[in-house]
Amino acid sequence: MCTAIERIERLNPSLNAVVTTAYDQVLRARPPAGPFQGVRFLLKDLGTEAAGMRLWEGSRFLAGHVPATDSELVRRLRRAGLVILGATHSPEFGMLPTAETRLFGATANPWDASRVAGGSSGGSAVGRRRTH
């Protein structure tokens, strides 16, 4: 298993930052050539459709939606060599200023778990600072 997956598995239960994983695709795929070949990457769960990976946009309304094709942004990320691990928590349809949804609950601030991660990229922001 790769280090990025191990880190998500270790920290996500307490932080609630990653809402969808695509580990099986990562472990069996060969990274495409490109300037970022093999770099692990998490998508923001708002409008970034990846083929075969659930898209929630923080809403129960989209439960079970699995795009058949990649969006243009995802195609470009893959062409650059990025390997998509999954998607991060975001507010329902990006409409609120914090990553707190009825669907997934709140994304904890890694510095103070009594607070939530702010912004529509709350899940993305969490992974940038927590090191233990």
Cβ(40)–Cβ(86) below 8 Å:
no
Is the C-alpha dihedral spanning 59, 124, 2, 8 positive or negative? negative
Q: How far apart are CA 55 and CA 66, in angstroms?
A: 6
Which of 123, 91, 119, 96 has its CA nearest to residue 107? 123
pTM of the model: 0.86
CA 12 to chain centre: 11
pLDDT in tens, the chain (132 residues): 578 899 999 999 999 999 999 998 778 778 778 999 989 899 999 889 999 999 998 898 888 899 999 999 999 999 999 999 999 998 888 888 877 888 888 888 888 888 887 777 778 777 655 444
